[in-house]
Amino acid sequence: MQELEAFEATHGVSLPGEYKAYLLEIGAGGVYFMEDNVPPIQELGKEEIDRLKKPFPITSDKIHEVQNFYRVKAWVYSDSNSWIENGVLPEGTDMAAMFGLPEETGLNDGCISLGYSSGRNELVLVANGEFAGEVWSDRLGYGAAMRGCFGAGS
């Protein structure tokens, strides 16, 4: 526990309690199915630490029902009209108002990469903000036709 507290103090971050318990009981990092090595938390670089310090940009007013596989409200790209063209969202939907994020934000701001699912979707732990402690799955690469979105993993 002292190592985790030192990590938090050194980098000015706060890790979710359940993640700390996971790190203490199971460990961190490793090689994942068909993917590169995910480094242990102690080996995160400056870029990853800086990203972790930023607020997670998605809030509950930016996630909506998009008929995804997990049946959870999720976020999609605000500049994609494919969701309207595929009949998921009604004509006239203001995508920017529904899903737009502040300028200069990254989707993984405030997150720690945990690895990848067997479907090769990145799994991230949201470390701060409204959804702190949740694991989200990035399925955006599938596009609107396949209901590719970014949202809670379950």
Query: Is 147 within a domain?
Result: yes
Rounded to two decimals, the pTM is 0.86
Domains held by the chain: number: 1
Query: Is 141 within a domain?
Result: yes
Cα 112 to Cα 136: distance, rounded to the nearest angstrom? 10
Query: Is 30 within a domain?
Result: no
Residue % of the chain over a pLDDT of 70: 92
With 0-12 / 13-18 / 19 or more C-beta atoms within 10 angstroms meaning exposed / middle / buried, residue 84 is: middle
With 0-12 / 13-18 / 19 or more C-beta atoms within 10 angstroms meaning exposed / middle / buried, residue 143 is: middle
Query: Is 59 within a domain?
Result: yes
* pLDDT tens digits along 74-127: 999 999 999 999 999 999 999 999 999 999 999 999 999 888 877 778 899 999
Its domain, for residue 64, covers 44-152
Query: Is 115 within a domain?
Result: yes
Strands (E), 27-103: 30-31, 37-38, 74-75
Q: Are 139 and 33 in contact (CB under 8 A)?
A: no
Query: Is 65 within a domain?
Result: yes
